[in-house]
Amino acid sequence: MKLFHKICIWVFSGMMGLSLGILFFLLSSMLRQGVDDVICYGKKEIDKNVSVIREKIQRESIGTVETVVKEIMVINEFRQIFKMDSILWKDGEEVWNASPYEIDRSALSKLFESQDLHSGEMYISRRQKVDGKILIVFYQEYMNLGENGYSLAVYRDVTDIYSRVWKLFFSGVGFTIVLFCTVGALLYHGIRRILFPLEELKGASFRVANGEYDSYISITNNDEIGEVTESFNQMAEKIREHMEMLEKTNEKQQQLLGSLSHEMKTPMTAIIGNVEVLLTLRLTESEREKALFYILNESKRLARLSEKMMEFSRLCNQDDSVISIKKQSVSRILEQLNALMSFRLEEKQINLNRTCLPETLEKQADEDLLLSLLWNLVDNAYKASETGSNIEIAADEQKISVQDFGKGIPAGEIAHVTEAFYMVDKSRSKKAGGIGLGLSLCCQIAEIHGWKIRIESKEGEGTRVSVLWQS
């Protein structure tokens, strides 16, 4: 069963129950009030009439009057005042009854006694069915009407009250049904309109599941459903962004693989060609050494390419749990860097000038990644530097910079040098052993730490690459 139908059933059931409950309450209150009014009025009227009879008998029976005469006077006065809706007993025997009903005095007497009432007090029977009529009987036992021993019963017919209440009940039920149908129709359309955004959410969910990640729903209400709609739109936006990121990552990986294949093809072709020459041709010793030396250099280049690719791949798929970011001494990292680069720097007699202010400078970083970043920057500076030149590395609270005094980078090329496999001067870079991945790795490491890479270069003057600690 759909949510819409469940809500309708519960709302309509609640409406019907509430309407009938209110109707029953009002009609029962009306009936009870009507009966109470009859009882209150009847009791006052009986007390008044009994007092009138007593006073009249006492006034007219001055002196000595025969008992029979007094009884006749009581019956006559009783008949004139109470008329046709009363019964009179004398010492338990019925002496007057002009009503169409036979009232059982003995039953009334037992009920009178069960209520612990005394002579002269009144017992009221709230509802009795007699001959198809609904009566309220007022009963007084052994009351004084100028003579002792008289018992009185007066009834009031409340059948008409019950009949009117039942007519009102059925009229109310009919009105309730009409009102229920009218209000129910309005509620049905209102609930359907309120829940319509849920139907849109359902349709949008199916579209998102089918790959339509730009499926959004217009927010028309500021209620909870509107908040759910807004959350859904945010979720769809996040999914779209994530899918776009995955597509870009996939595209980059494809480009990376294509570039890798292209980069590997040249050294592999050269190696295969030189090996075939060695195997098929008679070469002089110097020619053989030249071919072997070329094979060795290209093999080392492939090895470096493999290492760079593995490191690049590891950074692209880095798990945060593997990275250990904590305070690192920058001066200690620079000492490790100098030890790693000393052998290569000596080959070209390049001086690495290090400056760290203050000497106790510490930064939050992963030690291995920071060392790898600086090694790649210095390695790039080494490749760009001439024999006997200097490389300067300086660190402070804002940044750490690597400066070389080589050929420099053309202004139009600076924006592209961080792309994987991009090389400004390919022939010169390959000769120096470059593969175009160093700055890409540096950018990946900086991004992981929340840093920023800034490149400043002038042709013929050199290049400064700075790592800004705060991006």
- Quote the mean pLDDT of the chain: 79
The pLDDT of residue 192 is above 80 = no
- CB neighbour class for 214 (10 Å; exposed up to 12, middle 13-18, buried from 19): exposed
State pLDDT tens for residues 345-398. Answer: 888 899 999 999 998 999 998 887 788 788 888 988 998 889 999 999 999 999
Comparison of pLDDT for 382 and 246, the residue scoring more? 382
Average pLDDT of the residues in 19-48: 85
- Domain limits of the chain? 3-166, 238-311, 318-468
CATH of domain 318-468: 3.30.565.10
Average pLDDT of the residues in 149-176: 85
Which of 22-31, 224-233, 241-250, 462-471 is predicted least confidently?
Answer: 224-233
The predicted structure's pLDDT at residue 343: 72
State pLDDT tens for residues 133-150. Answer: 888 888 888 877 767 788
The pLDDT of residue 317 is above 80 = no
The predicted structure's pLDDT at residue 428: 45
Q: Which of 66, 46, 43, 44 has its CA nearest to residue 54?
A: 46
Q: Say if domain 3-166 classifies as CATH 1.10.3470.
A: no
User: What percentage of the chain exceeds 70 in pLDDT?
Assistant: 83
The predicted structure's pLDDT at residue 433: 44
The answer to whether the pTM exceeds 0.85 is no
The pLDDT of residue 432 is above 60 = no
The pLDDT of residue 441 is above 60 = yes
State pLDDT tens for residues 78-120. Answer: 888 887 788 888 888 888 887 888 888 888 888 888 888 877 7
The predicted structure's pLDDT at residue 168: 85
> Is residue 100 reached through a cis peptide bond, with omega within 30 degrees of 0 on the bond before it?
no
Average pLDDT of the residues in 282-292: 84
The predicted structure's pLDDT at residue 468: 94
Using H for helix, E for strand and C for coil, what is the string for the chain? Answer: CCHHHHHHHHHHHHHHHHHHHHHHHHHHHHHHHHHHHHHHHHHHHHHHHHHHHHHHHHHHCCCCCCHHHHHHHHHHHHHHHHCCCEEEEECCEEEEECCCCCCCHHHHHHHHHHCCCCCCCEEEEEEEEECCEEEEEEEEEEECCCCCCEEEEEEEECHHHHHHHHHHHHHHHHHHHHHHHHHHHHHHHHHHHHHHHHHHHHHHHHHHHCCCCCCCCCCCCCCHHHHHHHHHHHHHHHHHHHHHHHHHHHHHHHHHHHHHHHHHHHHHHHHHHHHHHHHHCCCCHHHHHHHHHHHHHHHHHHHHHHHHHHHHHHHHCCCCCCCCCEEEEHHHHHHHHHHHHHHHHHHCCCEEEEEECCCCCEEEECHHHHHHHHHHHHHHHHHHCCCCCEEEEEECCCEEEEEECCCCCCHHHHHHCCCCCCCCCHHHHHHCCCCCCHHHHHHHHHHHHCCEEEEEEECCCEEEEEEECCC
The predicted structure's pLDDT at residue 426: 44
Assign domain 238-311 to its CATH architecture: Orthogonal Bundle (1.10)
